[in-house]
Amino acid sequence: MWSKVRPPTTAQVRDAFGLEVGELRSHQGGFEADAFTDGRWFVKLWRQRPDDDAALALTADLQARGIPVPAAQRALDGSYTAEHLDRRYAVFPYVEGRQATGNDTEAIARAMRAVHDITDLVLPRAEIHEWCIEALRDRRDHPWLADHRDEILADVDRLEAVIERARAIDVPHVVCHRDLFPHNVLIDRDGRVAALLDWGQTRLAPREHDLFAALCEPDTVRFLQAYGAERLDRTHLEYARLARSLRDLAARICEEVDREGINTWGFAGLRRVDADLLLAGPFCDV
């Protein structure tokens, strides 16, 4: 996995953002970034490509509309990130809370619906294409895929076919987070959503491109009921669900990190796709 790194110093943060931070301690990060906090501020240090300024500025727009989102702080040069160890970092207010679990299904579903109900944000529209198709075909002989080569190539072919079908189906577009899973949700002591995190992938997209997350929950039906789902498009749901597992697999293969994760987030998820879609069937157009 990724090696540990030092956080920016208090002087670095002061010079870049004009903020006084205390001693920054390691905090739970994720696959894409390391994280640090002093209990008041939260620093996200991306390992590779950071969120762009438009995505970070969006956090303030969402907060202004009543969505529980920590707003990224603007740097003194007008941008939203600064450099540390040849990587970029951003600073957010620290929000106290625990990471959501499957027990918070209904709270996450209602929060997702509140985001989808926003109608006055101008965002780019999502394009339906997947880098993981070419990446996995190019790496079909990678040793981590040795025992699953034919299985993965069949899933890649399926995704390519689903993309062609999805592109031909016109559905309403809403504000989509596109990664609204429990790891991006903080819950307060009363069981309410305290913060929705990581808005770097946000686009105007079919609601199914968020709602596929329900298919990965332990109680898909309860999630979709709490959201108020109806007349979903099954093809867009299939695309989003299948693409997520293949992207998770491809990212780990390409970076050669998290060998264990290719089973949890890749192979295991791919084998559940049809069963997951079956659970969502009553909420889809026939």
Instruction: Give the pLDDT of residue 29.
Output: 76
Average confidence (pLDDT) over 6-30 = 94
Q: Do 149 and 137 touch, CB atoms closer than 8 A?
A: no
Q: Do 110 and 34 touch, CB atoms closer than 8 A?
A: no
Average confidence (pLDDT) over 99-125 = 95
DSSP H stretches of helix in the chain: 10-17, 53-64, 105-116, 131-138, 149-167, 208-211, 220-227, 234-255, 261, 268-271, 273-280
pLDDT in tens, 205-246: 999 999 999 998 889 999 999 999 999 999 999 999 999 999
Q: Where are the domains of the chain?
A: 10-94, 102-283
Instruction: Give the pLDDT of residue 217.
Output: 83
pLDDT in tens, 75-105: 999 999 999 999 999 999 999 999 999 899 9
Instruction: Give the pLDDT of residue 286.
Output: 63
The pTM for the full model equals: 0.92
Judge if 10-94 and 102-283 fold alike in CATH terms.
no
| pLDDT: which is higher, 24 or 265 | 24
Residue 30 pLDDT grade (very low, low, confident, very high; cuts 50, 70, 90): confident
Helices first, then strands: H and E counts in the chain:
11, 10
* CATH code of the region 102-283: 3.90.1200.10
pLDDT above 90 covers a percentage of the chain that reads: 90
**CATH superfamily placement of domain 10-94:** Phosphorylase Kinase; domain 1 (3.30.200.20)
Instruction: Give the pLDDT of residue 285.
Output: 86
